[in-house]
Amino acid sequence: MSDSLQKAFFGVIALGVSCIAIELVPVSRQAAYWNRCLDRTIGWINEAQDLKSWNKQAKESLAVGVCNGAVYEPKLKS
């Protein structure tokens, strides 16, 4: 009887881990998309002549804002 109870517990644990793994798939895809957006935006900022004088933190802050959707104006004000 103890053996069957242990198998049942392992089955519940396996089911729980599987459900958690399935739930993490969309989150990992969104994280990969956001990281790609951040890398590309920082690359674009580094190529922009007007923004060459900005320090690294300012560039990263702008890139985070762009990827989060917080920057609405298509023209940058400096």
Indicate whether 57 pLDDT > 80: yes
Contacts 24+ apart (CB under 8 A), 60-63: 63/38
Into how many domains does the chain fold?
1
Predicted pLDDT at 70: 80
- What confidence tens digit (pLDDT) does each residue in 6-46 have? 999 999 999 999 999 999 999 999 999 999 999 999 999 98
Structure pTM? 0.67
Residue 78 belongs to a domain: no
DSSP the chain: -HHHHHHHHHHHHHHHHHHHHHHHHHHHHHHHHHHHHHHHHHHHHHH-GGGTTS-HHHHHHHHHHHHHT----SS---
Q: In this predicted model, which residue has the larger pLDDT, 73 or 37?
A: 37
In a domain, 74, yes or no: no
- Return the sign of the alpha-carbon dihedral for residues 26, 27, 32, 37: positive
Return the higher-pLDDT residue of 41 and 73.
41
Check residue 28 and give its pLDDT.
94
Residue-number span of the structural domain to which 37 is assigned: 2-68
